[in-house]
Amino acid sequence: MAPLRVAALESLTDHVVEDAVEEVGFDALTVGRRIRHHRQVRGLTLAQLGESVGAAQSQLSQVENGKREPRLSLITAIARALEVAPAELLDPAPPPGRRAALEIELDAAQRSPLARELGLTAVRSSRKLPTDALEALVELHRELARRHDASNATPEEARRANTEIRLLMRAVDNHLPEIEELAEDLVRSAGYTVGALTHRQVARMAADLGFSIIHVEDLPHSTRTVTDLANGRIYLPPASIPGGHGLRSLALQAIGHRVLGHERPASYTQFLRQRLEINYFAACCLLPRSAAVEFLSAAKADKDLAVEDFRDAFGVTHEAAAHRLTNLLTSHLGIPVHFLRVGDDGALYRGFENDGVPFPQDTSGAIEGQPVCRRWTARTVFAERNRTTENYQYTDTPAGTFWCSSQTGSSVDGGFSITVGVPYAHAKWFRGRDTRVRAVSTCPDGTCCRRPPGELVEKWAEAAWPSARLHAQTLAPLPSGRFPGVDDREVYSFLASHAPRD
Ligand SMILES: [Zn+2]
């Protein structure tokens, strides 16, 4: 039921109230309980009220118990008899009194989709039901709803929500102009002009919003930051490296929740959406659009676009710079683009494309956790010895030829690669376009790089017994061959290279 705006209703005539009720409907039990409340306040019995409005006592009793929807004419008559406005009786808020509030909550819980799905027996909250039993039932329903919500984000649903948001962002070229605008204004008022955003400017942005940034050693393990809304404080972990870049981003994300007016997320999709928005906001602050587009346009004019230069000019990580490119390259420079973060296990952790590069997908369309083609730059780069510069490669795929630039790094979770790529026709704007490195990928065709070569299968299929390592951090398991979660090809090659020579 949509909430009625009571203040606005108070001054309306019965006729208008009728229209309003027709539009939004009302909750019979709430109305009934409000009638009972006002009747008792007036010290009237059901019979006395019935007499003054010309209705049978039994009929009024049914109305008060929510068993019968009163006609508007009856509500207005009752309101007149009880000397209250009709809007007072139609107010969707529970009437005063704990008992009435509990009765209404139980009634609503028993009619909820969850209760119906579970086929729960409904209990009538008549006066015979003791208040403590009523309270216990309401508590049970609350707990049931809470547990249901908590279990809602199953891996399956998480993947669906991820995919939904990815496709949404693809449709807008990974560009959210309102957030760009907002971030630009805020960094400018904090004194930003060009280059890297300083810690001092981030602190000023927080202060402008009434927050101070405080570093603490004992943040809860499950949090990245905590904001104290009552006292205007943003708590961050301590800086492990003086001037470390990660903290600016964390502080900006916390600020993002405030300036973007986020409410507590009601669903997993909304949670992800907010997460995306604060990341986007932080990226817009660290690489503000005006300065970033100016920098990139100049590099494009020189045919010398490079992630590493963009990264160094703004003092951010390679990943942050590469991902920020996806926000701006298409929308401001007319270049379609793709981005991947791939683990050294070959799984795709984060990806964006609007250039048609064929990302690996599961049947639901999710890309997270899917194995990337072994021939792609994102994986061939792991074999490179030189990690001080980007590595470039042209890759022929079933969707055309792409030029890509990859850089490797390592984190506590292991090695990873960051890749930015564009269709062949757009390679001309980038440093590294003259690379001689070429590869051919026919994935998702299994013969490309997934199926083990025939001679290895013949030799090892019956002799290999690997034990799978679980990929807890990815949303989907890696491809399964004969053993779930285990890559046959890797196992056989490993065994082949370590087997005693015969
Ligand atoms: Zn492949």
Average pLDDT over residues 382-409: 91
Work out the widest C-alpha separation in the chain, in whole angstroms. 106
pLDDT at 410 over 80: yes
Question: Residue 111 — pLDDT band, cuts 50, 70, 90?
Answer: confident
- Report the separation in Å between the CA atom of 157 and the middle of ligand 1, taken as the mean of its atom positions: 28
Q: What is the three-class DSSP state of 212?
A: strand
> What is the helix (H) or strand (E) element at residue 438, kind and residue range?
strand 438-440
CA of 393 to the centre of ligand 1 (A): 15
> What is the average pLDDT across 342-362?
93
CA of residue 372 to ligand 1 center, whole Å: 7
Cα-to-centroid distance, 173 and ligand 1 (Å): 26
Rounded to the nearest whole angstrom, what is the distance from the C-alpha of residue 375 to the centroid of ligand 1? 6
pTM: 0.67
Query: For residue 502, what pLDDT is reported?
Result: 61
Q: What is the pLDDT of residue 5?
A: 35
Distance 324 CA to ligand 1 centre (A): 27
Distance 369 CA to ligand 1 centre (A): 16
- The answer to whether residue 64 scores a pLDDT higher than 60 is yes
CB atoms within 10 A of CB 327: 24
pLDDT at 364 over 90: no
Distance 445 CA to ligand 1 centre (A): 7
Please tell me which residue, 444 or 146, carries the higher pLDDT value.
Answer: 444
- Strand pairing report for 338-343 and 400-411: unpaired
What local confidence, expressed as pLDDT, does residue 23 receive? 44
CA of 443 to the centre of ligand 1 (A): 4
- Residue 356's Cβ-side half-sphere holds a number of Cα atoms within 13 Å equal to 10
**pLDDT single digits (tens) 292-321:** 999 999 999 999 999 999 999 999 999 999
d(CA 492, CA 498): 10
Report the separation in Å between the CA atom of 120 and the middle of ligand 1, taken as the mean of its atom positions. Answer: 51
Separation of CA 374 and ligand 1 centre (Å) = 5
* Mean pLDDT, all residues of the chain: 85
Average pLDDT over residues 18-38: 71
Of 441, 456, 445, 455, nearest to 488 by C-alpha is 456
* Rounded CA Rg of the chain: 31
Q: Are 3 and 92 in contact (CB under 8 A)?
A: yes
**Sign, Cα dihedral of 181, 182, 183, 189:** positive
In the sheet that holds 212-215, the strands lie side by side as 212-215, 233-236, 226-228
Tell me the per-residue pLDDT of 252-300, one tens digit each, with 9 for 90 and over: 999 999 999 988 777 778 888 999 999 999 999 999 999 999 999 999 9
Predicted confidence (pLDDT) per residue in 229-248, tens digit: 888 888 888 876 665 667 89
Q: How far is CA 501 from CA 65, 496, 498, in A?
A: 86, 9, 9
Positive or negative CA dihedral for 300, 302, 306, 309? Answer: negative
Alpha carbons 262 and 280: distance in angstroms, whole number: 14
Tell me how far the alpha carbon of residue 451 lies from the centroid of ligand 1, in angstroms: 10
CA angle, residues 222, 209, 312, in degrees to nearest 5: 70
- What spacing in Å lies between the alpha carbon of 261 and ligand 1's midpoint? 44
From the CA of 397, how far away is ligand 1's center (Å)? Answer: 9
* pLDDT exceeds cutoff 50 at 473: no
Q: What are phi and psi of 306, to 5 degrees?
A: -155, 135
Dihedral, 340, 346, 347, 351 alpha carbons, nearest 10 = 10
What's the 404 CA to ligand 1 centre distance in angstroms? 15
DSSP 421: E
- pLDDT band, residue 342 (cuts 50/70/90): very high
Instruction: Say how far apart CA 502 and CA 491 lie, in whole Å.
Output: 19
**In this predicted structure, what is the pLDDT of residue 244?**
62
What pLDDT is attached to residue 288?
Answer: 97
